Structure 1
Amino acid sequence: MSAPALSAYHRPKQPEQVRRALLDCAAQIAAESGAGAITIQAVAERAGVTKGGLLHHFESKQALLAAVFADLLDQLDREIDRSMESDPKPEGRFTRAYVRACFSDRLLGARSLWAALSVAIVSEPALRALWTAWLDARLSRHRATDDTPALAVVRLAADGIWLADMLEKEGGLRRYPQRFEGELLALAGG
């Protein structure tokens, strides 16, 4: 006698795996088509869950976007920490890692998740608040090594190139070529 098929009701619950799949699917949609393409229906369909299943994990599209962005900030944190670990010079270490992170996926252009979410960062107060809290925490943590006006200028220049990329798409890369990364790293003592 064969085992009965598991229905959704009897299927073992794996909330963390479902949540992770929803975040990954939302990020894929954003990278492919922009943050505007993220809808409850589109993410639920791609993840293979019902809209109700998605809403169990994220109460709204805004909550889903915030979670995707927070996940992206966690990835950025890990990338910066890895970069800092391999940098032997303490003074300016965070700034150099920040510059490297800002330049790391420029060549992906519109396929970059950062590019896809950048418009949402500007227009969504909750995402701006997440970004500001993240940056404030990192700057506070690295105050002893990265709290000089010159290093702030380097980080602002990296932010400006990121903004140019967002606004000008390919024009930003032509106007501020990838070699600017080396220039900024040199200014940061790297």
Structure 2
Amino acid sequence: MSTAYERKKQPEVVRRALIDCAAKLALERGLQAVTVQAVASAAGVTKGGLFHHFASKEKLIEAVFDAQLDVFGAAVDEALQHDNGSYGCFTRAYVMATFTLGESDDGQCGGALAVSMMTDPLLRPRWSVWMRARMSKHKKTDSAPALEIVRLAADGAWLADLTALAPDLRMSRKKLLARLMAMTQKD
């Protein structure tokens, strides 16, 4: 009979911990800080344990991006459920998700997405694929140029939050959100 310690295998828990630790490192110290050793240590696993779940550092970073994009997409979907489906419905949901996640997760989702997209050119097409699919689905309600401007303004607010732009250099979040939401209404 073996007296060796046997840890209960929980592959999804370990995988999630690796993704979360990599996202946190990317947000706090930049994507260059996301090393195999740093992520494995932060998650409490060996490098071999990390490679059991992800074949390479690049695959881990893709998983971080995809997981954060799933969080953002779920927030958009949640906001869409509370909309009547008329003009600007996707844009309103996009703005709400952008502002809500920025407040609720201390920048984790938005920060990890932004850091990943800005620093890794291989991830940028993933965002375009996601956005293209959403825009195709909501073409009838959200293709107006004015709505694109609103979405881009929400992206700018997201970036301002991520970079901790001084409050005296920007409109209050509450006023900006109200203004952007008003701009999604048809004239």
Q: TM-score, normalised by structure 1?
A: 0.82
Q: Write the deviation string for residues 66-110 of structure 1: whole angstroms up to 9, x where unpaired.
A: 11111000001111111111123522111001011222244579x
Match of 1:93 in 2: 89
- 1:98-177, aligned counterparts within 5 Å? 98-107=94-103, 111-113=106-108, 114-166=110-162, 168-171=163-166, 174-177=169-172
Separation (CA, whole Å) in 1 of partners of 2:117 and 2:168 = 20
Q: Which has the larger displacement, 75-84 or 61-70?
A: 61-70
Contact conserved, 1:161 with 1:176, CA < 8 A, in 2? no
Gaps of 5+ in 2: none
Gaps of 5+ in 1: none
- 1:170-185, aligned counterparts within 5 Å? 170-171=165-166, 174-178=169-173, 179-185=175-181
Separation (CA, whole Å) in 2 of partners of 1:44 and 1:78 = 28
Q: TM-score, normalised by structure 2?
A: 0.83
Separation (CA, whole Å) in 2 of partners of 1:37 and 1:189 = 43
Q: Write the deviation string for residues 45-75 of structure 1: whole angstroms up to 9, x where unpaired.
A: 1222110111222222222111111100000
Match of 1:5 in 2: 4
Number of residues of Structure 1 aligned to a counterpart in Structure 2: 184
Are positions 1:83 and 2:79 aligned together? yes
Separation (CA, whole Å) in 2 of partners of 1:121 and 1:107 = 20
Q: Percent identity?
A: 46
Contact conserved, 1:165 with 1:173, CA < 8 A, in 2? no
Amino acid at match of 1:75: V
Distance apart, 1:159 and its partner CA: 2.0
Match of 2:63 in 1: 67
Distance apart, 1:141 and its partner CA: 1.3
Distance apart, 1:165 and its partner CA: 4.0
Amino acid at match of 2:87: E
Query: Any idea what SS the aligned residue of 1:5 has?
Result: coil
Query: Any idea what SS the aligned residue of 1:170 has?
Result: coil
Are positions 1:55 and 2:54 aligned together? no
Distance apart, 1:172 and its partner CA: 6.9
Contact conserved, 2:98 with 2:154, CA < 8 A, in 1? yes
Are positions 1:38 and 2:12 aligned together? no
Amino acid at match of 1:80: V
Contact conserved, 2:65 with 2:116, CA < 8 A, in 1? no
Separation (CA, whole Å) in 1 of partners of 2:84 and 2:113 = 32
RMSD, matched Cα: 2.6
